[in-house]
Amino acid sequence: MSIETYARTFRGTYVLNLKSQFRFYTWAGWLVAELIGPFMLFASAWVIARIVAGGGTPPRFLEATGYPDYLAFVLLGLAFNGLAQTALEGGGNAVYEEESAGTWDLVALTPMNRFVWMFSKTLAGLTAMLLDTAIVVAVGAMFVSLVLTPSSVLVALAGLVLTLFALQGFGFLMAAAGLIWKQPFALAILLAPIVILLSGMMFPISALPGWAQVVSMAFPLTHGIEVARGALLLGLGFAELAGPFTMLALTGAAHMAVGYTAFRIMERRALASGKLGRY
Amino acid sequence: MTTTAWGRSIRAALYKNWRLSITYPTWLLQRLLSPLVWVAIAVYAYTGVADPARIAEAFAEAAGTTGFTGFLILGQTLFSFFLGMNWRGGMAIQRERWYGTLEIVMLAPTSRVAFILGESVYGLLDSGWTVLLAMVIAMFAFDARFTVAHPEAALLAVLLALLAMVALGVFFSGFYLLTRSAGPLSSAVQAPIRFLAGVQFPVSALPTQIQYASFAIPVTYGIAAVRRVFLAGGDIAAVSGELLALALSTVVFFAIGAYLIGRMEKEAKRRGTLHVY
């Protein structure tokens, strides 16, 4: 298969699915429905800070993390919530949508690279979700103080782009699970709070039990959030954040390798058992 | 429509949902684990930013209890029941749209309210045991202690809270009937209700103006009553205000919901949007 064929598969799938994602935004309530979750969690963090520290940054939090602003810490964590949910839902739905639309057989028969197809389909969902991320940060920035210098924004954006690719591994894993267990929504809804819990979106991961901290470090999202916090809360540059960047790239690559392998195995199993197309 | 016909509709809904549940067991795992994970998020959101002594002191001040893990577990348990009702009763019509069976349901000579009640009753049975099991596991995992000094108060508080949530499910189903975006809407109502009902903190910690909105939601009274009975050993007199509010909101939301279902169905048929999603 030539590079040109890969590029055509990528372009066709990406553009089609990006359009498909943005069609939801034609209903004004869609954006509100998507954003209300992170904002309410942010408001919950504000209430928690009111209860334990009279509204300021709790001393124990400052001591444990070194970040000066607890609410800004939570805001930047929650900005990644939509991306994580999209990776979880998008991967499973990539196959489920085709199955329920009756087009999976056609997709499966098309002589294209399945990795490129899945990658571009989930990337389209993640790209659309960047709008939500931008809104969460922009609105939240009115209430908290962020370091918004050109260099810190550049570092944060680099981390965000790398996180987009790293999250693809989740998508492949979900697609693999959806091929066998069907109803990928159930799995996505189940995993959504687990991702919030383990990636340290709302609290420092040092609060988790030891074993959970190890699992947390294996999530690319944890490192993506750390990069954003380091850049936009402490003004750190690429050199200071080399560790989280490296971990983000490594865990992302590992997730993608495991996810794609699982996807191909499950696809073969589904073909052998006649389950492909059943949903 | 006779009581027997209502009973048959409810029984049919129970049977249908049972078949669906055993067909898609992944949902069972989701119902069991989600409450546990949300409790963990709430607990670590506190322990990650303050030491246990400070949290206990703050809760004693704001909620009248030092057992903050029990406080959070009870909040999540009641909220999980609400989620179950929102999904089962509230989304009953929308699910039929997705399955492509809405016309068959609408053509059946039966009460729409009986149909939605059947879905809600199944939701109670189905989410009931999973949520309670999750609560017990969370209790051991986070070392929570409950003190029930008055079992009759506990029974009444739980019963009235559940009835209020069934009524809320019927109420929401009326709204969802008219929109093609019932899925996102039903998800969107969850976060504000989680926040306003005080699932993760005492409602008294909210600014006064926001508390007015909190007390317009039956879930708030359900959570408050259950916490008072299970954590502070309250009797019926201690929670009489909450129980009265729950009973009233059950009647009000059920009546409005039943009215809305009929009204919205006619409107959806007139606009030709009954099956649009």
Q: Residue B159 pLDDT more than 80?
A: yes
Mean pLDDT of B205-218: 94
**Residue A40 CB contacts under 8 Å (≥ 6 apart), including other chains:** B191, B192, B194, B195
CA distance linking residue A107 with residue B70, whole number of Å? 51
Q: Residue A98 pLDDT more than 90?
A: no
Mean pLDDT of B102-120: 85
Report residue A21's pLDDT band, with 50, 70 and 90 as the boundaries. Answer: confident
CA distance linking residue B277 with residue B270, whole number of Å? 16
Q: Residue A26 pLDDT more than 80?
A: no
Secondary structure (DSSP) of A61-79: HHHHH--S-HHHHHHHHHT
Q: Are the Cβ atoms of A30 and B206 closer than 8 angstroms?
A: no
Show the tokens assigned to A139.
């609105």
Report residue B23's pLDDT band, with 50, 70 and 90 as the boundaries. Answer: confident
Among A42-51, A212-221, B139-148, whose mean pLDDT is lowest? B139-148
Q: Are the Cβ atoms of A58 and B49 closer than 8 angstroms?
A: yes
Q: Note the pLDDT of residue B1.
A: 64
Q: Are the Cβ atoms of A32 and B188 closer than 8 angstroms?
A: yes
A–B CB contacts, 8 A cutoff, strictly below = 117
Among A145-149, A265-269, B95-99, B177-181, whose mean pLDDT is lowest? B177-181
CA distance A186 to chain B (A): 5
Mean pLDDT of B227-234: 92
Q: Note the pLDDT of residue B276.
A: 65
Percent of chain B residues past pLDDT 70, beyond the cut:
97
- H-helix or E-strand spanning residue A166: helix A150-166
Q: Are the Cβ atoms of A44 and B185 closer than 8 angstroms?
A: no
Q: Residue B277 pLDDT more than 80?
A: no
ipTM: 0.89
Q: What is the pLDDT of residues B26-79, one digit of tens each?
A: 788 888 889 999 999 999 999 999 998 999 999 998 888 888 999 999 999 999
Q: Note the pLDDT of residue A276.
A: 66
Report residue B17's pLDDT band, with 50, 70 and 90 as the boundaries. Answer: confident
Q: Note the pLDDT of residue A279.
A: 60
Q: What is the mean pLDDT of chain A?
A: 89
Give the angle subtended at the CA of A224 by the CAs of A223 and A230, to the nearest 5°: 85
Report residue B242's pLDDT band, with 50, 70 and 90 as the boundaries. Answer: very high
Mean pLDDT of B97-116: 83
Q: Residue B181 pLDDT more than 80?
A: no
Q: Note the pLDDT of residue A277.
A: 63
Q: Are the Cβ atoms of A53 and B29 closer than 8 angstroms?
A: no
Among B26, B33, B195, whose Cβ lies nearest the Cβ of A43? B195
The more confidently predicted of residues A128 and B26 is A128
Q: Are the Cβ atoms of A48 and B45 closer than 8 angstroms?
A: yes
Residue B1 CA: distances (Å) to CA of A131, A146, B4, B113, B140: 51, 62, 8, 11, 48
Q: Residue A207 pLDDT more than 70?
A: yes
Q: Residue A71 pLDDT more than 80?
A: yes
Q: Are the Cβ atoms of A203 and B201 closer than 8 angstroms?
A: no
Residue of B49, B55, B80, B193 to mutate when probing chain A, most A C-beta within 10 A: B49
Among B49, B185, B194, whose Cβ lies nearest the Cβ of A33? B185
Q: Residue B130 pLDDT more than 90?
A: no
Q: Note the pLDDT of residue B132.
A: 87
Q: Residue A274 pLDDT more than 80?
A: no
Q: Residue B180 pLDDT more than 70?
A: no
Mean pLDDT of A57-61: 89
CA distance linking residue B9 with residue B111, whole number of Å? 8
> Roughly what angle, to the nearest 10 degrees, separates helices A28-53 and B26-47?
40
Is the minimum CB–CB distance between A50 and chain B shorter than 8 Å?
yes
CA distance B254 to chain A (A): 25
Mean pLDDT of B79-92: 86
Tell me A143's DSSP state: T
The more confidently predicted of residues A39 and B110 is A39
With beta carbons under 8 A apart, name residues in chain B contacting A203. 44-45, 47-49
Mean pLDDT of B183-212: 91
Report residue A153's pLDDT band, with 50, 70 and 90 as the boundaries. Answer: very high
